[in-house]
Amino acid sequence: MRSGRLLFSKLSFDLAPGDAAIVTGANGIGKSSLIRLAGGLLVPFEGSVTCATDKALLTEASSLDIDRTLAAALRFWASLDRAPDPEARVARALTALDLDALADIPVRLLSTGQRRRASIARVASSEAPVWLLDEPANGLDAVSVTRLATLIAHHRAGGGIALVATHLPLAMLDAQEIAL
């Protein structure tokens, strides 16, 4: 329910380790709202959302401090996570997103696509088992979209879960489709 309007009803799905779901539908149908519900940023009008483990959320807004270097901005968030060794996690995520060369650049100087990759790196560096991604491919070039698909596949292969809202094609093997 948003602004008194029912967005969707009778929606039910489960995701086990290794699973993925892709949320599709027209503009304004409620894809972002569903991701936010899953992330606990919105409360369902009716029903419930249960998540047994840590989750990382990617929304349209970048949560990275624009005045820090990319590496420092990522380390800030990684240090708040429960997983050990934030430095190593950030280093791995920077490499996975091909951002090593930009590690010492202030976030405010990054391009749109670079910022999006940086936000994905924040999710990856959390090493949270559940990834909730709202339009992760927005602003990415073709190579970066492929890299994102590979990253999600690796995450799932390691027992991770991905719930992804996207209106852009993103290859995710055997993903459930949640068509709103």
Residues that bind ligand ATP (CB under 6 A): 2-3, 7, 25, 27-33, 167
Secondary structure of residue 20 in the 3-state scheme: strand
Q: Residue 1 contacts by C-beta under 8 Å, 6 or more apart in sequence?
A: 7, 45
Nearer to ligand ATP, 3 or 12 (CB): 3
Q: Specify the residue, 127 or 134, whose C-beta has the smaller distance to ligand ATP.
A: 134
Q: How far, in Å, are 75, 126, 135, 152, 166 from residue 111 at the CA level?
A: 20, 23, 17, 23, 21
Q: Closest approach of Cβ 135 to ligand ATP, in Å? A: 7
- For residue 29, give the nearest of 49, 11, 56 by alpha carbon: 11
Q: Which is nearer to ligand ATP, 8 or 76 (CB)?
A: 8
Output the smallest distance, CB 92 to ligand ATP, in A: 30
Q: Which C-beta is closer to ligand ATP: that of 38 or that of 124? A: 38
Q: Where are the beta strands (DSSP E) in 39-174?
A: 55-58, 130-134, 161-165
Q: CB 126 → ligand ATP: shortest distance, Å?
A: 22
Quote the least distance from Cβ 35 to ligand ATP, whole Å.
Answer: 8
Tell me the closest approach of the beta carbon of residue 144 to ligand ATP, in angstroms.
20
Long-range CB pairs of 4-11, under 8 A, 24+ apart, other chains included: 6/45, 7/33, 7/180, 8/34, 8/180, 9/46, 11/47, 11/178, 11/180
Return the residue matching tokens 């391009």: 111
15 or 180, CB closer to ligand ATP? Answer: 180
